[in-house]
């Protein structure tokens, strides 16, 4: 998970771990890219990415991850988390290579449903 706001990160992490997820959190897009690059392929199943962050925003980070020279960079689900719930914002996220868009404040059922859908889609692509 990539989230610069500590409280938002804690809330999202609680929701995710309550549903059985193992969560690693970083504070900006650059850290996300660095952690992903340094990981073994397949280490991460999904990336939850805030959009507006210091150092490197989520849109730039998503584009950078998608451009990496490894197969899982092209296929890992990247889900935007943003307070901007307008259609144009969701479109910008998709154009940057993100797969889905969650509006903040995060809803427990919606986050679970979105992650499940994206993981199913991702797994179907690998079969």
SS3 annotation, the chain: CECCCHHHHHHHHHHHHHCCCCCCCECCHHHHHHHHHHCCCCCCCCEEEECCCCCCCHHHHHHHHHCCCCHHHHHCCEEEEECCCCHHHHHHHHHCCCCEEEECCCCHHHHHHHHHHHHHHHHHHHC
Which CATH number, 3.40.605.10, 3.40.50.2300, 3.30.450.270, 1.25.40.10, labels domain 6-122?
Answer: 3.40.50.2300
Statement: residue 127 has pLDDT above 80: no
Confidence of residue 10 (pLDDT cuts 50, 70, 90): very high
pLDDT at residue 124, as a whole number = 64
pLDDT in tens, 100-116: 999 888 888 998 999 99
Is pTM, for the whole model, over 0.85? yes
pLDDT at residue 126, as a whole number = 53
Statement: residue 83 has pLDDT above 60: yes
pLDDT in tens, 36-69: 999 999 899 999 999 999 999 999 999 999 999 9
Mean pLDDT of the chain: 91
């Amino acid at each position: 998970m990539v989230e610069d706001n500590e409280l938002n990160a804690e809330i999202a992490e609680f929701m995710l771990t309550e549903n059985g997820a193992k969560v690693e959190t970083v504070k900006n897009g650059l850290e996300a890219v660095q952690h992903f690059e340094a990981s073994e392929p397949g280490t991460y199943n999904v990336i939850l990415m805030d959009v507006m962050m210091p150092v490197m925003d989520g849109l730039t980070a998503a584009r950078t991850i998608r451009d990496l020279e490894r197969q899982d960079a092209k296929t890992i689900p990247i889900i935007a988390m943003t307070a901007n719930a307008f259609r144009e914002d969701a479109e910008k996220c998709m154009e940057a290579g993100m797969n889905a868009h969650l509006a903040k404040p995060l809803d427990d059922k919606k986050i679970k449903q979105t992650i499940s859908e994206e993981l199913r889609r991702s797994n179907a692509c690998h079969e």
